[in-house]
Amino acid sequence: MWSCPCCLRFKFSPEELEQRYKSQEIDKMIEKDKQALKRQVKLLLLGAGESGKSTFLKQMRIIHGPKFEYELVKEYQQDIYQNIVRGMRVLVDARDKLDIPWEDYSNSEIGKRLLECENPTVLDAILFANYSPLVAKLWKDSGIKRAFDRRREFQLSDSVEYFFNNLDRISRYDFIPTNQDILHCRKATKGITEFVIPINKVPFLFVDVGGQRSQRQKWFQCFDSVTSILFLVSSSEFDQVLLEDRKTNRLEESKDIFDTIINHRVFKNVSIILFLNKYDLLLKKVANPETDIRWYFPQFSGNSHSIQDVQKFILAMFTGVKRDPKKALYHHYTTAVDTENIKVVFNSVKDTILTRNLEILMLQ
Give phi and psi for 230, each to the nearest 5: -105, 110
CB pairs under 8 A, 24+ apart, for 303-310?
307/282, 307/283, 310/238, 310/282, 310/286
DSSP string, 136-153: HHHHTSHHHHHHHHTGGG
pLDDT in tens, the chain (364 residues): 455 555 555 566 667 767 776 776 665 565 454 444 456 899 999 998 899 999 999 999 999 988 999 999 999 999 999 999 999 999 999 999 999 999 999 999 999 999 988 777 788 999 999 999 999 999 999 999 999 999 999 999 999 999 999 999 999 999 999 999 999 999 877 778 889 998 888 899 998 887 565 565 666 667 778 889 999 999 999 999 987 777 899 999 999 999 999 999 888 888 899 999 999 999 999 999 999 999 999 999 999 999 999 999 999 999 999 999 999 899 999 999 999 999 999 999 988 888 766 555 444 4
Dihedral sign (CA 95, 99, 103, 104): positive
pLDDT of residue 363: 42
Dihedral sign (CA 238, 240, 241, 242): negative
The whole-angstrom separation of Cα 230 and Cα 236 is: 18
Catalytic residue among 50, 141, 237, 253: 50
Catalytic residue among 141, 186, 334, 335: 186
Q: Are the CB atoms for 209 and 251 separated by under 8 Å?
A: no
Q: Which residues are annotated as a binding site for GTP?
A: 50-55, 158-159, 183-189, 208-212, 277-280, 336
* DSSP-derived 3-state class of residue 193: strand
Q: Do domains 41-68+189-353 and 70-184 have the same CATH topology?
A: no
Catalytic residue among 193, 212, 291, 352: 212
Burial of 106 from C-beta contacts in 10 A (0-12 / 13-18 / 19+): exposed
Catalytic residue among 141, 208, 237, 253: 208
* DSSP-derived 3-state class of residue 359: coil
Q: Which residues are annotated as a binding site?
A: 50-55, 158-159, 183-189, 208-212, 277-280, 336
Catalytic residue among 55, 78, 82, 240: 55
pLDDT of residue 212: 61
The whole-angstrom separation of Cα 3 and Cα 81 is: 67
Determine whether 27 is an active site residue.
no
Determine whether 50 is an active site residue.
yes
* DSSP-derived 3-state class of residue 202: strand
* Fold exhibited by the domain 41-68+189-353: Rossmann fold (3.40.50)
Q: What residues does each domain of the chain span?
A: 41-68+189-353, 70-184
Determine whether 61 is an active site residue.
no
Determine whether 291 is an active site residue.
no
Q: Which residues are annotated as a binding site for Mg(2+)?
A: 54, 189
pLDDT of residue 243: 77
pLDDT of residue 357: 65
Assigned architecture for domain 70-184: Orthogonal Bundle (1.10)
Determine whether 109 is an active site residue.
no
